[in-house]
Amino acid sequence: GDSVTQMEGPVTLSEEAFLTINCTYTATGYPSLFWYVQYPGEGLQLLLKATKADDKGSNKGFEATYRKETTSFHLEKGSVQVSDSAVYFCALNSGGYQKVTFGTGTKLQVIP
Amino acid sequence: EAQVTQNPRYLITVTGKKLTVTCSQNMNHEYMSWYRQDPGLGLRQIYYSMNVEVTDKGDVPEGYKVSRKEKRNFPLILESPSPNQTSLYFCASSLRAAEKLFFGSGTQLSVL
């Protein structure tokens, strides 16, 4: 079945540091890939998505590239802010299946 | 405002006492689903629905029921709750499963 593996957290960074959160996946067919963010006390919200190989999703300074050869969708940001502190979830949807599979989440803490 | 509304936000109950968590969306979305979030396990899908009167099991359906009698509503029913169902629950909806998911604010359930 489908699965998503994320790097374990928590990740603690200083403000303006470079961020990478690793995500790899196993899926049938050609899945769509997503990053969701969950701020404290809130539901998840979509951060970015990519629907085919080599697509790059981007939003709010975050980027992730759909790498089919390495089955990866790593999240990056060049300079994090305290306001980026949250839990980040990688997720996928296999085309034809009405189901979204989430990773376990990576907690990011950015300190001033 | 486009939103997914869950109620209640917090619920404490006792083993065996039937409860319902409501979920409503105002975006005319076809797809709705329920997740539970547990530390170290991320989000796991309980049930999903592709349209009115069409529901299917997710990864962890045991002990839960759902119904989809109207497009906007997708209640989660625990007929005989047990302590292992203590969790944070999220309802989500989207136009289709491969599209952006909109999440409710969550329901923190404690079963004593």
pLDDT value for B98: 67
pLDDT value for B28: 94
CA distance B39 to A3: 17
pLDDT value for B97: 62
Mutate to test the interface with A, among B101, B102, B105, B108 (most CBs of A within 10 A): B101
pLDDT value for A7: 86
What are the tokens at B55? 């529901």
Q: Does B72 lie at the interface with A, CB-CB under 8 angstroms?
A: no
pLDDT value for A17: 97
Q: What distance in Å separates residue A42's CA from the closest CA in chain B? A: 5
Regions of chain B short of the pLDDT cut 70: 97-98
Residue A68 has pLDDT above 60, yes or no: yes
Is A42–B106 a contact, with Cβ atoms under 8 angstroms apart?
A: yes
Is B42–A97 a contact, with Cβ atoms under 8 angstroms apart?
A: no
Specify the higher pLDDT residue, A84 or A30: A84
Residue of chain B whose Cα is closest to the Cα of A6: B42
Residue A61 has pLDDT above 80, yes or no: yes
Averaged pLDDT for residues A5-14: 92
- Do residues A64 and A56 lie in contact, with contact meaning Cβ atoms separated by under 8 Å? yes
Across the interface, of B41, B43, B98, the residue whose CB is closest to A93 is B98
CA distance A102 to A93: 9
pLDDT value for B36: 96
Averaged pLDDT for residues A55-72: 96
Q: Does B56 lie at the interface with A, CB-CB under 8 angstroms?
A: yes
Question: For residue A7, which residues of chain B lie inside 8 Å, CB to CB?
Answer: none
pLDDT value for A96: 58
Radius of gyration of chain A (CA): 13
Residue A97 has pLDDT above 60, yes or no: no
Q: Would you call B76 exposed, middle or buried from its count of C-beta atoms within 10 A (0-12, 13-18, 19+)?
A: buried
Residue A99 has pLDDT above 80, yes or no: no
Strand B4-7 to A23-26 pairing: unpaired
pLDDT value for A95: 62
